[in-house]
Structure 1
Amino acid sequence: MKVLQVLPELNSGGVERGTLELGAHLIRQGHESLVLSGGGRLVSELESDGSRHITLPVGKKSLSTLFLARQVRALLESERPDILHLRSRVPAWLLWLVWRKLSPSSRPRLVTTVHGFYSVSRWSQIMCRGERVICVSESIRDYVRSNYPTTPDERLRVVPRGVDPAAYPYGFQPDSDWRSQFESEFPTTIGKRLITLPGRITRLKGHGDFIKIFNQLKDDPSLHGLIVGGAHPRKKDYESEIHQAVREAGLSERITFTGNRSDLREILAVSTLVLSLTRQPESFGRTTLEALSLGIPVAGYALGGVMEQLELLYPKGLLPPLDPDASLPIIRELLAAPAAVTRENPFTLQRMLEGTLEVYDELVSTK
Structure 2
Amino acid sequence: MADIDIAAEGGRPLRVVQILPALNAGGVERGTVEFARELARLGHESIVISSGGRLAKTIESEGSRHIDMPVHRKSLWSLWQVRPMRRLLTELAPDIVHVRSRVPAWIAWLAWRKMPVATRPRLVSTFHGMYSVNVYSAIMAKAEHCIAISHCVEGYIRENYPQAADRITLVPRGLDPNAFHADACTPAWCEALYEQYPQLQGKQLILMPGRLSRWKGQEAFLQMMATLTQRRGDCHGVVVGDAEPGKQHYLQELLAQRDALGLHDKVTFVGHRNDIAAFYGLAAITCHMSSKAEPFGRTVPESLAAGTPVVAYDRGGAAESLNEAFPEGLVKADDVGAFAERVASLIDHRRHISLPEEYYLQHQVSATLKIYRNLLDKSAL
Compute the TM-score of the two structures, normalised by the length of structure 1: 0.96
- Aligned-residue offset at 1:203: 0.2
1:10 match: secondary structure: coil
**Structure 1 counterpart of 2:108:** 95
**Structure 2 counterpart of 1:272:** 284
**Structure 2 counterpart of 1:230:** 242
- Aligned-residue offset at 1:115: 0.4
Alpha-carbon separation, structure 2, partners of 1:213 and 1:28: 43
Q: 1:1-367 residue pairs with structure 2 within 5 A?
A: 1-151=14-164, 153-169=165-181, 171-172=182-183, 174-219=185-230, 220-342=232-354, 344-367=356-379
- Aligned-residue offset at 1:233: 2.8
Can you list the C-alpha shifts for 1:305-350, whole angstroms capped at 9, x where unaligned?
1111111100000111122123233222212434332365531110
1:168 match: secondary structure: coil
Sequence identity percentage: 40
Q: Structure 2, unaligned stretches of length 5 or more? A: 1-13
- Aligned-residue offset at 1:71: 1.0
CA contact (8 A) 1:298 1:317 kept: yes
Give the number of equivalent residue pairs: 365
Alpha-carbon separation, structure 2, partners of 1:48 and 1:207: 33
Partner amino acid, structure 1, of 2:152: S
Alpha-carbon separation, structure 2, partners of 1:343 and 1:302: 18
Can you list the C-alpha shifts for 1:152-197, whole angstroms capped at 9, x where unaligned?
x11001111111222222x325222211111111111110000010
CA RMSD in angstroms comes to 1.4
Tell which deviates more after alignment, 186-195 or 8-17.
8-17
Alpha-carbon separation, structure 1, partners of 2:124 and 2:344: 44
Quickly say closer, same or farther: Cα 1:210–1:24, change in 2 above 3 A.
same
Quickly say closer, same or farther: Cα 1:186–1:14, change in 2 above 3 A.
same
**Structure 1 counterpart of 2:4:** none
Partner amino acid, structure 2, of 1:133: C
1:282 match: secondary structure: coil
Alpha-carbon separation, structure 2, partners of 1:300 and 1:109: 38
CA contact (8 A) 1:192 1:222 kept: yes
2:250 match: secondary structure: helix
CA contact (8 A) 2:331 2:339 kept: yes
Runs of 4+ aligned structure 1 residues displaced above 3 Å come to 336-340, 343-346
Quickly say closer, same or farther: Cα 1:31–1:339, change in 2 above 3 A.
closer
Alpha-carbon separation, structure 1, partners of 2:85 and 2:375: 22
Can you list the C-alpha shifts for 1:262-312, whole angstroms capped at 9, x where unaligned?
111111111000000011111112222111001000001111111111111
- Aligned-residue offset at 1:111: 0.3
- Aligned-residue offset at 1:236: 1.8
Tell which deviates more after alignment, 267-276 or 177-186.
177-186
- Aligned-residue offset at 1:127: 1.0
Alpha-carbon separation, structure 2, partners of 1:338 and 1:251: 26
Can you list the C-alpha shifts for 1:24-72, whole angstroms capped at 9, x where unaligned?
2222332211111111222222112221111111112222211122211
Quickly say closer, same or farther: Cα 1:339–1:31, change in 2 above 3 A.
closer
Compute the TM-score of the two structures, normalised by the length of structure 2: 0.92
2:207 match: secondary structure: strand
1:300 match: secondary structure: strand
1:195 match: secondary structure: strand
Partner amino acid, structure 2, of 1:62: S
Partner amino acid, structure 1, of 2:178: A
Partner amino acid, structure 2, of 1:313: A
Tell which deviates more after alignment, 184-193 or 37-46.
37-46
Q: Structure 1, unaligned stretches of length 5 or more? A: none
CA contact (8 A) 1:132 1:155 kept: yes
CA contact (8 A) 1:297 1:340 kept: no
CA contact (8 A) 2:207 2:240 kept: yes
